[in-house]
Amino acid sequence: MTECLMASYEINGPESNARAIAERICLDQTIEGDASLLAPPLQLQIVGRLEHLRPTSAGRCEATIRYASDLLSGDCTDLLNVLFGTSSFRGDVTLSSFTLTQGLLSLWRGPRFGIDGLRCAVDVVHRPLLCAVLKPLGRSAQELAELAAQYVEGGVDIIKDDQSLVDQPWCPFEERVVRCAEAIGKASSQRGRPCLYLAHISGSLEVMRRRATQAKALGATGLMMAPGLTGFDALRALSSDETVVLPIACHPTMLGASVDRGRGGLLPRVAYGLLPRLAGADLSIYPTFGSDYPMSQDDCCSVADSCRQSWDHIKPMMPAVGGRVGPERISILGSPLGRDVVLVLGSRIQKHPGGVIAAIEECLRMVTTERSSDCPSTS
């Protein structure tokens, strides 16, 4: 089979109107001009081709368009531009999914650790993982380190910096990473089970590379970055950097601006699932259903499915749902999302009447714990 990129779009309107828009997308996403500007052989080689068009629910149609492999160089930038560059201006088109044929997909490594690697790193096999967040912004590095120690004592598996933590005067990057990594490491040794610490490193590519190297040297056992701010190629570069080799979490800040809210954009499963996974994230954080953010249960579960579904050699990525998650939400989320998920506990656990440790212990009681030292390889 000829190598190609297949993209699916949801288009408003009756079939006749949707067909006209789909044919326009074929041009806009390739030559962005009239086909007559090219000789017929080049038209066949370069212009996107409408493969299927079918009506769906709510008066929409799904169009599947085939793009030639020669349009892609293997970068995230090229992929995104072909998938949805000019068509993102339209407002009546949604990118719902995409697939790469095997030859093109072989250019992408995907997650280095994935679900099995994360589970091995925290020594938890058969239950959802719990993640706590170092917040709010304004606390000193020492205060955050003390909070981190409580998180570990309560029983969390992962601790991450809040995305607002960068290198502020009251909480410098290096001091925060040193103090938090030390506190988490000491508390983990005392409880007899590891806890990952994901240091936030977003910035320019040069800054991120420096912070990633510093974070690892200072004791961080994972990284977090926001490709909505930095670009997906930056995520890919760090995930494949052989000098770093740490699990990487993708934070969704700014990605929400690209998600379809009824006026075109990316479906959540593309923005929070397929793209981060292809670029190499081991864990993708996104809003859960039932929070203050506009995310339906169906969309939330579809993101989780896109993180975990079989995808040739690309390892499954761990979905991580957050947004005002406390003990009262654990059972509600666990049933539809399954066991291979990270539940990101919100700041409300700091307001629990029994304290932070009691709040986490309550969350932990609501999931089934089974430990194993026989972990699969993360290489």
Range(s) of the chain covered by CATH 3.20.20.110: 114-365
DSSP codes, 235-301: HHHHHT-TTT---EEEP-TTGGGGB-SSSSEE-HIIIIIIHHHHHT-SEEEEEPTTSSS---HHHHH
Catalytic entry in 200, 216, 251, 315:
251
Q: How does pLDDT run across 61-71, given as a tens digit for each residue?
A: 999 999 999 99
At residue 37, does pLDDT exceed 60?
Answer: yes
For CA atoms 10, 12, 17, 20, give the dihedral sign.
negative
Range(s) of the chain covered by CATH 3.30.70.150: 4-105
Contact 112, 282 (CB under 8 A): yes
pLDDT band at residue 378 using 50, 70 and 90 as cut-offs = very low
Side chain identity at residue 273, one-letter code: G
Catalytic entry in 135, 160, 216, 315:
135
Q: Which of 30-34, 158-162, 194-198 has the lowest mean pLDDT?
A: 30-34
CATH (residue range 4-105):
3.30.70.150
What is the DSSP-derived secondary structure letter of residue 143?
H
352 catalytic? Reply is no
Q: Which helix (H) or strand (E) holds 175?
A: helix 173-191
Q: How far apart are CA 63 and CA 16, in angstroms?
A: 12
Helix, strand, or coil (residue 336)? helix
Q: How does pLDDT run across 118-137, given as a tens digit for each residue?
A: 999 999 998 999 999 999 99
52 catalytic? Reply is no
Contact 131, 160 (CB under 8 A): yes
Q: How does pLDDT run across 189-233, given as a tens digit for each residue?
A: 999 999 999 999 999 999 999 999 999 999 999 999 999 999 999
The second-level CATH assignment, the architecture, of 114-365 is Alpha-Beta Barrel (3.20)
At residue 372, does pLDDT exceed 70?
Answer: no
